Amino acid sequence: MANFRSARFDEHAFFESTAFSTDIVFEATTFTGTPHFQSAFFAATGILSNFREATFVGRAYFEEATFAGAADFWHATFAHGVPPEVASYWSLEKNREP
């Protein structure tokens, strides 16, 4: 598991073209800079991509990112709007209180 829980990225965070083959946790992480997840691959079914309660102050880039497993954006905050690539995961219907 890659665990960035409650981390803070004050500058650009580059995860472009990164393949995450294990659970990735960005829960309660604050991105005050610009996070780049373009073309990132969040791997196999059953792997959790956890962005629960993450705060994106800078514009978040997820263009062409692939979520093969579960993605959790429950209560994530996007200051510049929810990126279209994560909108379905972020929706209230899919991310209700458990």
How do residues 39-83 score in pLDDT, each as one tens digit? 999 886 666 889 999 999 999 999 999 988 778 898 899 999 999
Predicted local distance difference test score (pLDDT) of residue 1: 78
Nearest to 5 by CA among 20, 24, 26: 26
Predicted local distance difference test score (pLDDT) of residue 94: 56
Q: Is residue 95 part of a domain?
A: no
Q: Is residue 52 part of a domain?
A: yes
In 3-state terms, the chain is what percent helix, strand and coil (to 5)? 5, 30, 65
Q: Domain containing 65: what range?
A: 2-8+20-90
Domain count, the chain: 1
The tens digit of pLDDT for each residue in 79-93 reads 999 999 898 888 755
Q: Is residue 66 part of a domain?
A: yes
37 has pLDDT over 90: yes
Q: Is residue 32 part of a domain?
A: yes
